């Protein structure tokens, strides 16, 4: 823990002059920004707005109103240090700080900067978990579990910052699952973890797991696995515990295999419920919403014109396979002869990366073999689970739509997408 994680006592006393919600915002301002992050210094209509904290589940921001810069300087950005606050005689407030980004001449010492303000307006906005903060590239390792892990972390962060009262019943359920599943998700996503074609080929740092779960958490874990029909996992956990090599190997291998899709779908359904009643992130920003709406319309038209089923962000079609369908999974090649049908999927994942709103397509393929599965309801994320060579998926990084693109650039991306769709519908192995 750094010194900046602890709010200075004098500043803590200063914030007591504000209402409860404003206090939370100012304390978050101190913890998240002071000594840690550059702040764009732009005052509009005498108001100074700052984005304090952002994750997949919430954002915290503050607007200092009726601002006066007291030292006459207006830098492009600041990095606050030694922040202190005070109430002025005229009823206004002042924040004083050292700007660590201020240029210094020879033999000069840092000068204190300050601004005064009349009031603040703090904002806590809760999101529906549909926009990610993960950069999706051609290296699809970790998908789709990294998407689930990010959401679990966001829910845990939401509880840490705001308290359990801010969580709905589904978020509280997710927190309980994360207590036992979180360490294994983290281990699975480590680049040093390797998973091959059997439980014995799971290679990882087993010592990283310290599953010192209480009795309730252990019971929750057993019930969770058993409730999904994964009885072997439940039995091994019950008999040998969460630290055993046998359980870790079984779980990590399961997560990569087709049975892992059962866990993933259950968690995805839970996440959808967690976000109900919350606003979509794009809905809060007019420019962001305009961009998303334009891309959505163009993407919808491209898919529907070519006979695909669905609506943004998920599409599916059925086509005739190649006479020989060849897939490479973990450098092992699979060949399937004279398959009857092939399902193709496209899904669009929205994310904010480096403060830029992005829409990235995932694509997948399934050669069906299980009559108990309704493949028409599957998505690209379901195709990342190993089923021999019957499933494969990838990220189309080159077709990412980025906020700030011109309409011409978006149309060019749509043209590229349309070409790929035409190839896939023609039965070509374009995945």
DSSP annotation string for 42-99: -EETTEEEEEEEE-SSEEEEEEEES-EESSS---SEE-EEEEEEEE-TTS-EEEEEEE
Could you tell me if residue 339 is inside a domain? yes
Q: Are 144 and 386 in contact, with CB atoms under 8 Å apart?
A: no
Could you tell me if residue 430 is inside a domain? no
In this predicted structure, what is the pLDDT of residue 430? 37
Q: What angle do CA 198, 145, 282 make, to 5 degrees?
A: 165
User: Any alpha helices (H) in 241-360, and if so which ranges?
Assistant: 245-256, 260-274, 286-304
In this predicted structure, what is the pLDDT of residue 402? 95
Q: 86: which 2 tokens?
A: 């005070």
In this predicted structure, what is the pLDDT of residue 330? 62
Q: What is the pLDDT along the chain (431 residues), one digit of tens a residue?
A: 444 457 889 999 999 999 988 998 999 899 999 999 899 888 889 999 998 988 899 989 999 999 999 877 777 889 999 999 999 999 999 999 998 887 766 666 777 899 999 999 988 889 999 999 998 988 888 999 999 999 999 999 999 888 899 899 999 999 999 999 999 999 999 999 998 877 778 999 999 998 889 999 999 999 999 999 999 999 999 999 999 999 999 999 999 999 999 999 999 999 999 999 888 887 878 888 999 999 999 999 999 999 999 999 999 999 988 776 777 766 667 777 778 899 999 999 999 988 889 999 999 999 998 888 899 999 999 999 988 889 999 999 999 999 989 999 999 999 999 999 988 765 433 33
Could you tell me if residue 69 is inside a domain? yes
Task: Give yes or no: residues 93 and 153 share one domain.
Answer: no
Q: Where is the domain boundary, 110, 126, 142?
A: 126
Which letter, b or e, does each residue of 404-428 get, where b requires 16 or more Cβ atoms within 10 Å of its Cβ? ebeeeebeebbeebbebbeebbeee
Could you tell me if residue 264 is inside a domain? yes
Task: Give yes or no: residues 169 and 218 share one domain.
Answer: yes
The per-type count for the chain, helices as H runs and strands as E runs, is 10, 19
In this predicted structure, what is the pLDDT of residue 108? 66
From CA 67, how far away is CA 48, in angstroms rounded? Answer: 7
Could you tell me if residue 341 is inside a domain? yes
Q: Are 381 and 144 in contact, with CB atoms under 8 Å apart?
A: yes
From CA 288, how far away is CA 302, in angstroms rounded? Answer: 21
Strand 324-329 versus strand 112-117 pairing type: unpaired
Q: Where is the domain boundary, 108, 126, 144?
A: 126
Going by C-alpha positions, the residue among 214, 190, 215, 213 that lies closest to residue 203 is: 190
Could you tell me if residue 11 is inside a domain? yes
Task: Give yes or no: residues 324 and 250 share one domain.
Answer: no
What pTM value is reported for the model? Answer: 0.85
From CA 257, how far away is CA 386, in angstroms rounded? Answer: 5
Could you tell me if residue 346 is inside a domain? yes
Task: Give yes or no: residues 89 and 142 share one domain.
Answer: no
H-helix or E-strand spanning residue 362: strand 356-366
Strand 131-132 versus strand 342-353 pairing type: parallel
Q: Are 312 and 299 in contact, with CB atoms under 8 Å apart?
A: yes
Number of domains in the chain: 3
Phi first, then psi: what are they for 314, rounded to 5°?
-125, 135
Task: Give yes or no: residues 253 and 293 share one domain.
Answer: no
In this predicted structure, what is the pLDDT of residue 82? 93
Q: Where is the domain boundary, 221, 255, 274?
A: 274
Q: Are 391 and 366 in contact, with CB atoms under 8 Å apart?
A: yes
Chain center to CA of 402:
17
Could you tell me if residue 200 is inside a domain? yes
In this predicted structure, what is the pLDDT of residue 107? 63
Which residue segment(s) compose the domain that 304 sits in?
282-425
Task: Give yes or no: residues 137 and 108 share one domain.
Answer: no
Q: 414: which 2 tokens?
A: 């749509």
Task: Give yes or no: residues 201 and 300 share one domain.
Answer: no
Task: Give yes or no: residues 195 and 171 share one domain.
Answer: yes
Task: Give yes or no: residues 238 and 286 share one domain.
Answer: no
């Amino acid at each position: 823990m750094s010194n900046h994680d602890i709010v200075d006592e004098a500043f803590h006393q200063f914030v007591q002059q504000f209402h409860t919600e404003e206090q939370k915002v100012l304390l978050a301002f101190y913890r998240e920004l002071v000594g840690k992050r550059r702040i764009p210094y732009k005052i509009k209509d005498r108001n100074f707005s700052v984005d304090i904290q952002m994750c997949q589940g919430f954002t915290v921001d503050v607007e200092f109103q009726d601002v006066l810069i007291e030292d006459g300087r207006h830098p492009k950005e600041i990095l606050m240090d030694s922040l202190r606050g005070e109430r002025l005689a005229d009823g206004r407030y002042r924040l004083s700080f050292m700007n660590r980004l201020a240029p210094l001449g020879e033999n000069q010492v840092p000068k204190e900067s300050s601004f005064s303000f009349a009031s603040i307006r703090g904002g806590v906005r809760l999101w529906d978990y549909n926009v990610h903060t993960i950069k999706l590239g051609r290296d699809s390792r970790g998908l789709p579990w990294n998407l689930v892990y990010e959401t679990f972390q966001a829910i845990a962060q939401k509880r840490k910052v705001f308290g359990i009262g801010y969580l709905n019943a589904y978020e509280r359920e997710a927190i309980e699952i994360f207590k036992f599943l979180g360490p294994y998700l983290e281990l699975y996503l480590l680049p040093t973890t390797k998973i091959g074609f059997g439980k014995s080929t799971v290679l990882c740092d087993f010592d990283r797991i310290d599953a010192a779960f209480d009795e309730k958490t252990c019971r929750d874990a057993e019930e969770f696995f058993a409730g999904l029909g994964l009885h072997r996992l439940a039995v091994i956990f019950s008999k040998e515990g969460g630290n055993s090599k046998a359980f870790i190997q079984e779980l990590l291998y399961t997560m990569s295999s087709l049975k892992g899709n059962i866990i993933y779908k259950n968690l995805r359904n839970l996440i959808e419920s967690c976000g109900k009643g919350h606003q979509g992130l794009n809905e809060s920003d007019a420019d962001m919403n305009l961009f998303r709406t334009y891309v959505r319309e163009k993407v919808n038209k491209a898919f529907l014109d070519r006979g695909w089923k669905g609506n943004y962000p998920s599409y599916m079609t059925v086509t005739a396979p190649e006479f020989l369908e060849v897939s490479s999974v973990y450098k092992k090649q699979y060949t399937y002869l004279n398959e009857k049908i092939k399902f193709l999927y496209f899904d669009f994942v929205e994310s904010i990366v480096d403060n830029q709103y992005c829409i990235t397509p995932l694509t997948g393929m399934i050669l069906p073999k299980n009559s108990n599965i309704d493949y028409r309801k599957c998505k690209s994320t379901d195709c990342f689970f190993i089923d021999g060579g019957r499933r494969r998926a990838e990220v189309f990084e080159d077709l990412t739509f980025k906020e700030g693109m011109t309409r011409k650039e978006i149309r060019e991306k749509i043209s590229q997408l349309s070409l790929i769709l035409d190839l896939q519908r023609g039965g070509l192995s374009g995945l």
